[in-house]
């Protein structure tokens, strides 16, 4: 049966008018714990602001509560028909290095947003045939910082390395993660990231999984916990790596579009159903 993005897209779309301030947009994103907000002009999507954008632009955003959204947003936003195959959406993510597609119905009205999380949710267990555990999927080199470093230093590392989080360490053990979502929350609250240790603004709960965990079980854990990353530990409980939704996407890319097409039951053609051109938000 054909897998379409309309089936898995997140509803409804959270949007804001282009004349709003960045601070207003960040407050909505923080309150609703969402990864992006669509920017509208006359009820038409003209741009997008994502958590990744906020990480990259944080030095500019800090201390400017009156900065307008139209000065910061990425444009244009990429849209796609609700009938687009999941396989085609995956190819669009890879081709344009994006993590969000605005989903339109036959009348070109916004009916949802298809995200990297939705892509992972659409994958079935057979997609990982031949991959017995998460060791082949995870990132083994984990960016980490001491718990007492300024949060702004951790943020600068995330921006320079284009990563979605850093692991916070204390006495050689992970005690939390500082994530893109934490960055949005802090800037929305006006926190001076230069004046506080990263331990005071990190997410203190870490969900871990053993190296031997099957990939689909790890995806199930992510979805159950509503998280986008897992700390991978060895048999002694020591940190071995980190598994993110991005890692999963990259491995699927390495396996080739023909295989992905077969696994998802789609018809993996070019991303011709995506419109209206390029999209600039952060890498998948």
CATH topology of domain 5-122: CBS-domain (3.10.580)
pLDDT value of residue 123: 82
CATH 3.10.580.10 residue window(s) in the chain: 5-122, 128-253
Check residues 70 and 279 and name the one with the higher pLDDT. Answer: 70
Residue 272: pLDDT band (50, 70, 90) is very low
CATH C-level class of 128-253:
alpha beta
Q: Each residue of 228-265: pLDDT tens digit?
A: 999 999 999 899 999 998 888 665 665 554 555 555 55
pLDDT value of residue 265: 52
Q: Each residue of 177-220: pLDDT tens digit?
A: 999 999 999 999 999 999 999 999 999 989 999 999 999 999 99
Distance of alpha carbon 196 from alpha carbon 161, whole angstroms: 22
Counting runs of H as helices and runs of E as strands, what totals does the chain give? 10, 13
Q: Each residue of 135-156: pLDDT tens digit?
A: 989 999 999 999 999 999 999 9
- Whether residue 8 contacts residue 118, with contact meaning beta carbons closer than 8 Å, is answered with yes
Is the pLDDT score of 18 beyond 80?
yes
DSSP-based three-state secondary structure for 221: helix
pTM of the full structure: 0.84
Distances (CA, A) of 70 to 18, 41, 43, 105, 113: 6, 10, 15, 26, 20
Is the pLDDT score of 279 beyond 50?
no
Distance of alpha carbon 121 from alpha carbon 116, whole angstroms: 9
Q: Which residues of 19-42 are buried (b: 16+ CB within 10 A; e: fewer)?
A: ebbbbbbbbbbbeeebbbbbbbee
């Amino acid at each position: 049966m054909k897998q379409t993005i309309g089936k898995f897209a997140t509803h409804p779309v959270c949007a804001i008018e282009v004349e709003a301030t960045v601070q207003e947009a960040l407050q909505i994103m923080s309150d609703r714990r969402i990864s992006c907000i669509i920017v509208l002009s006359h009820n038409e999507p003209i741009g997008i602001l994502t958590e990744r954008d906020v990480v990259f632009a944080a030095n500019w955003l800090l201390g400017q509560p009156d900065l307008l959204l139209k000065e910061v947003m990425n444009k244009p936003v990429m849209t796609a028909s609700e009938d687009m195959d999941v396989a085609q959406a995956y190819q669009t993510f890879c081709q344009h290095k994006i993590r969000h597609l605005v989903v339109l119905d036959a009348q070109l009205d916004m009916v949802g947003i298809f995200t990297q999380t939705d892509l992972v949710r659409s994958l079935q267990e057979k997609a990982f045939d031949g991959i017995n555990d998460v060791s082949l999927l995870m990132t083994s080199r984990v960016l980490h910082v001491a718990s007492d470093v300024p949060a702004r230093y951790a943020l600068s590392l995330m921006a320079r390395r284009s990563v979605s989080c850093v692991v916070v360490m204390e006495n050689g053990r992970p005690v939390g993660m500082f994530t893109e979502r934490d960055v949005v929350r802090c800037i929305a609250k006006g926190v001076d990231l230069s004046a506080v240790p990263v331990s005071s603004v990190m997410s203190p709960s870490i969900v871990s999984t053993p190296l031997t965990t099957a990939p689909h079980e790890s995806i199930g854990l992510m979805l159950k916990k509503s998280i986008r990353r897992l700390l991978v530990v060895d048999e002694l409980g020591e940190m071995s790596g980190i598994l993110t939704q991005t890692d999963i996407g990259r491995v699927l890319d390495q396996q080739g579009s023909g295989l992905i097409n077969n696994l998802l039951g789609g018809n993996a053609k070019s991303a011709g159903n995506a419109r209206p051109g390029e999209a600039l938000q952060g890498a998948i």
